[in-house]
């Protein structure tokens, strides 16, 4: 996929995730999200998503996205939104082997 096509897709995805239909669960709670800035000055957007795909390692995951990287974290505490910025950034750096 070339950069222009990716940019169009990324714009659609961002627009969709900002809608009111993006929910944490069927109990109609809003999806928590956080915006963090790491030591290098990169801005990270963090939010939780459902993962119903057959390849998923869990029913939900955290998405960490910056301007150049997207990471998926499968193991995280249920109260992740209340973690300190440092702890949340460290969680985004974890690797599963």
User: Residues 61-83: pLDDT tens digits?
Assistant: 999 999 999 999 999 999 999 99
Strands (E), the chain: 33-37, 43-50, 60-65, 70-73
Tokens of 41: 């000055």
Alpha carbon 11 to its chain's center: 15
pTM, full prediction: 0.65
pLDDT for position 27: 46
Q: What is the pLDDT of residues 10-29, one digit of tens each?
A: 333 333 333 333 333 444 45
Identify whether the C-beta of residue 80 lies closer than 8 Å to the C-beta of residue 90. Answer: no
Contacts of 80 (CB under 8 A, 6+ apart): 32, 46, 48, 62, 88, 91
Identify whether the C-beta of residue 31 lies closer than 8 Å to the C-beta of residue 24. Answer: yes
pLDDT for position 70: 95
């Amino acid at each position: 996929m070339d950069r222009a096509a990716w940019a169009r897709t990324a714009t659609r995805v961002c627009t969709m995730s900002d809608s009111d239909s993006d929910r944490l669960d069927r109990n109609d709670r809003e999806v928590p999200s956080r915006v963090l800035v790491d030591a290098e000055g990169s801005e990270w957007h963090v939010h939780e998503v459902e993962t119903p795909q057959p390849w998923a390692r869990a029913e939900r995951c955290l998405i960490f996205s910056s301007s150049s990287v997207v990471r998926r974290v499968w193991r995280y505490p249920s109260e992740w939104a209340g973690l300190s910025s440092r702890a949340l950034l460290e969680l985004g750096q974890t690797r599963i082997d």
